[in-house]
Amino acid sequence: MSNIERYLRKDKFPHIWCPGCGNGIVLHAFLRAIDKLNLDQNQVAAVSGIGCSSRATGYVDFCTIHTTHGRALAFATGVKFAKPELTVFVFSGDGDSTAIGGNHFIHACRRNIDLTMIIFNNNIYGMTGGQYSPTTPYMKYASTAPYGNAEQPFNISGLAVAAGASYVARGTTYDAAQLDNLIIKGIENKGFSLIEIFAPCPTVYGRKNKLANPVDLMMWQKELTMPVAKWNQLDDEEKAKYQPTGILTDIDKPEFCDEYAKTCAKAQKIAKGELIS
Amino acid sequence: MSQAYKEKRRFIQGNEACALGAIAAGCRFFAGYPITPSSEIAEVMAKELPLLGGKFVQMEDEIASIAAILGASLSGEKACTATSGPGFSLMQENIGYASLAEIPCVIINVMRGGPSTGSPTSPSQSDLMQAKWGTHGDHPVIVFAPAYISEIFVDTIHCFNLAEKYRVPVILLLDEVIGHMRARMDIYKLSADDIAVIERRKPTVSPAEFMPYDTSDSLVPPMAPFGQGYRFHTTGLIHDRTGFPVNDGLTAESETIRLMKKIYENESDIIEYEEYMTDDMDIMICTFGSTARSAKVAVNKLRDDGIKAGLFRAITLSPFPRKKLRELSARVNKIYVPEMNLGQLRLILERVTRPVQVPIIGINRINLAPISPDEIYQTIKKGEGYV
C-alpha cells in the first residue's frame, strides 16, 4: 500500500464512490501497475470523461484532465499526439465510452494511437441515478427501464477488437489479482490498449436488480465470466452464456504517432528535393 | 518559417491566408473535420505542418477536433481548428470547457448559410450571436471578424496572441466571401506589430508551490505545460485556484466574474475597429466582415451625392467596441446596419446605443449572395430598411 500512496492526492479523500463500489478496486490495480513499471509521475497524464469512474483523475497525482462527457479519448488524443513522450491513460465508464463517446472510442481503436484506456463497466449510469446504459443487460432494470431493458447490450471488448485496437483485455473486480497484469501489458503495448473491467455498482444497479449486496454482485461477475482459454473450447451456444476474461487481443500494428512522424520525415525530404513525391 | 514570409507579395485565398497566419503565430497543432467552406484551412495545415515538425490530425467529428486541440494546448502547443456552422454548433460544449478551464485555443468559423445544413457554399454572417453566446453559461470569449485578405493573416496572429495572453478561446469569424476570395497580400507591408507573436506566461514558482489558477498577481494565471514537473488537475466543474472542484456559491460567483473581468478589464488591449469618414458623418453605416467592403464603396457613392456618410467596421465583435459606438452614435442622425443575417449586429447596437436613442435601420440579406454596394447605397438613398 505504501508504495502506491505516492501516486495519490491523499488530501482529496474520502472519495465519492459508494460502499461496495468496484471503482476503488480498479484504481488500486491501476496504481499497482504504475508502481511495478516505476513510471515517472511527471511524464504521465490521465484523462477522464464524466461519470463516477471519471472522478478517478481527481485522485491520482499526475497531469490530469476531467473533460466533458464522452470526450476523454479525443482530449487524450490531443495530449498524446502533441507530446508522444508522455504515457497517457484514459479512465471512462460504459456510458461515457460507448454511448456519448462511442464515436471517439471506435476511432481511437482504429487509429491505434498509443493510449491505455481503462473502462469501468458497471452496466448503469450511476452518477445520474441509475438510468440504463449501453451495457445494461437485456431485461435488467434501471430507473429508465422500470419494466426491464428492451435493448441489447454492447460487448465493449468485442467492439474494440472489431474496431482495430491492438490490445484488448477484460477483467473483473472479483478477480482483482489478475488486473495488475492486464493493465501492465496494456501499458507496454505500443498502440491503443483497452482494459475493460467489470466493476459492480451495488447502490444503483444492484438495488434495481435484487443484487444490492456487493458480495452477490461479485458472485454474478464470477458466474458470468470465464478465462478466455477455457471459453475458446466451448461451442457457440455455450460461448454466448459467458464473457471471456484475460487478454483477448494482443497484436503488432503500426502506431499512429510513430507513423505520423514517418510521414513528416518523408514530407521534409520531398520539400528538400531529396525525394520525389 | 512559413512560405508566406519568403515572398514579398502573394496572390492568396482568404482561407490560405488564415492557415499561414496560424503558422506564423506559432500554431503547430491542428485538428479538424472536413466542412465547406473551411476545408482549405485544414488542407493547407495538413501540407505545411509536417514540414515544420507540427501535428495535423483529421478527427472523427468536430467535437473530437476541438477536444484534441484542447488536449494539445494543455500539453503546451498553440492549437487551432477550423469549421463552419454545423461543426461550430457541435463544438459549443467544449468552447465552454475552454472558457472555464482557461485553455488557450483558436476556433475558425468560416460562416455559411444556416440554420442546419443550410447553404454550404453560400456566404452568411449569421453565426455572430452563436460566437458570442453559443455555449451554455456565462462565459468570456473573444471574437474577431476581418474583412480583407491581409487582415485575415494578421488577425489570425492576433487571435493566437490573445488566446495565449488571456487563456481564453478566441473565435475567428470569416465568411464564405472572404474565405474563398483571392487577393494580393503584400507581405513586405506588414509591420513588426502586425506579426509580433506572444507566448503564454509560464509559472515562475517551483512545482511544489504551483497552483494552476493562482491569480494573486494577475487576473490571468500562468499556465504550465504537461510533462515539466507541474502536476495539476483540469476540470470543467467550477473549481478554486487549486484546480479542484468546489461546490460553494461564493467561489462559483467570484471565479466566473474573474473570467469575465480578465477580458472586460483589458478591452482596450483587445478591441480593434476601423473608422472611415466618421469625422463629419451624419449617417453611420456599422457592419463587420466582408459586408464592410461593400459598405465602404457605398459611403463613397453617398459622399459623391453630398450625403455625409461614414463607416464604422467592428473587427472585434466580442468584447464589443461599445464605448466608441456610443460616442459615435451621439453624433449621427441614423445608423444603418447591413449584414448577411436578420439583424444580429443590429441587436447589439440597439443595446449599446440605447442612451442615445438614434434610429437603427437594418439592411439584411439572407439570399445566399453578398450584399452589394448598390443595395446599401439605394436603401440609404430611399430611406428604406428594417427598423
- Domains of chain A by range and CATH? 2-271 (3.40.50.970)
Burial (CB count within 10 angstroms: exposed 0-12, middle 13-18, buried 19+), residue A85: exposed
What one-character-per-residue DSSP string does B97-159 give?
HHHHHT--EEEEEEEEE-STT-EEEEE--TTHHHHHH-SSSS---EEE---SHHHHHHHHHHH
Contact A108/A174 with Cβ under 8 angstroms? no
Is the sign of the CA dihedral B324, B326, B330, B335 positive or negative? Answer: positive
Across chain A, which has 277 residues, the per-10-residue mean pLDDT values are: 87 96 98 96 98 98 98 98 98 98 98 98 97 98 98 98 98 97 98 98 96 94 97 97 98 98 97 88
Cα separation, B127 vs B124, in Å, equals 8
Instruction: Determine the distance in angstroms separating the CA of A39 from the nearest CA of chain B, rounded to an integer.
Output: 13
Contact A99/A74 with Cβ under 8 angstroms? no
Cross-chain residue pair B64–A104, CB shorter than 8 Å: yes
Distances (CA, A) of B63 to A29, A48, B147: 32, 16, 28
- Looking at the predicted structure, is the pLDDT value of residue B142 above 50? yes
Cross-chain residue pair B226–A86, CB shorter than 8 Å: yes
A48-61 pLDDT, tens digit per residue, is: 999 999 999 999 99
pLDDT (0 to 100) of residue B6: 67
Question: B94 contacts in A (CB within 8 Å)?
Answer: 68, 71
AA letter at A166: S
Q: What are phi and psi of A92, to 5 degrees?
A: -155, 165
With an 8 Å Cβ cutoff, is A204 touching chain B?
no
Average pLDDT over residues B271-298: 98
B116-134 pLDDT, tens digit per residue, is: 999 999 999 999 999 999 9
With an 8 Å Cβ cutoff, is B31 touching chain A?
yes
A78-113 pLDDT, tens digit per residue, is: 999 999 999 999 999 999 999 999 999 999 999 999
Cα separation, B369 vs A25, in Å, equals 61
Q: What mean pLDDT is reported for chain B?
A: 96
pLDDT (0 to 100) of residue A87: 98
With an 8 Å Cβ cutoff, is B91 touching chain A?
no
Cross-chain residue pair B231–A41, CB shorter than 8 Å: yes
User: Which one of A63, A76, A77 has the shortest CB-CB distance to B232?
Assistant: A63
Q: List the 102-121 stretch of A: residues with Cβ below 8 A of B.
A: 103-104, 107
pLDDT (0 to 100) of residue A1: 52
pLDDT (0 to 100) of residue B386: 85
Instruction: Determine the distance in angstroms separating the CA of A62 from the nearest CA of chain B, rounded to an integer.
Output: 5
Instruction: Determine the distance in angstroms separating the CA of A196 from the nearest CA of chain B, rounded to an integer.
Output: 22
Please choose, from the candidates A219, A195, A177, the residue with its C-alpha nearest in 3D space to the C-alpha of residue A36: A177
Q: What are phi and psi of B124, to 5 degrees?
A: -165, 160
pLDDT (0 to 100) of residue B380: 97
- Looking at the predicted structure, is the pLDDT value of residue B322 above 70? yes
Q: Going by C-beta distance under 8 Å and a sequence separation of 6 or more, which residues neighbour residue A96?
A: A49, A50, A51, A53, A54, A69, A70, A72
Domains annotated for chain B, with CATH where assigned, are: 3-195 (3.40.50.970), 273-382 (3.40.50.920)
Instruction: Determine the distance in angstroms separating the CA of B113 from the nearest CA of chain A, rounded to an integer.
Output: 27
Distance of CA B320 to the CA centre of its chain: 11
Beta bridge partners of A118: A91, A195
- Looking at the predicted structure, is the pLDDT value of residue B345 above 50? yes
Cross-chain residue pair B74–A107, CB shorter than 8 Å: no
Cross-chain residue pair A83–B235, CB shorter than 8 Å: no
Average pLDDT over residues B179-202: 93
Question: A264 contacts in B (CB within 8 Å)?
Answer: 50-51, 53
Cα separation, B37 vs B177, in Å, equals 9
Cross-chain residue pair B64–A83, CB shorter than 8 Å: no
Give the Cβ contact number of residue B284 at 10 Å: 28
Cβ pairs A/B, distance under 8 A: 132
Cross-chain residue pair B51–A260, CB shorter than 8 Å: no
Cross-chain residue pair B75–A79, CB shorter than 8 Å: yes
Question: pLDDT tier at B1 (50, 70, 90 boundaries)?
Answer: very low
Q: In this predicted complex, what is the ipTM?
A: 0.97
With an 8 Å Cβ cutoff, is A12 touching chain B?
yes
Q: Going by C-beta distance under 8 Å and a sequence separation of 6 or more, which residues neighbour residue A114?
A: A80, A84, A88, A190, A191, A192, A255, A256, A257
Cross-chain residue pair B72–A82, CB shorter than 8 Å: yes
Minimum CA–CA partner of B97 in chain A: A68
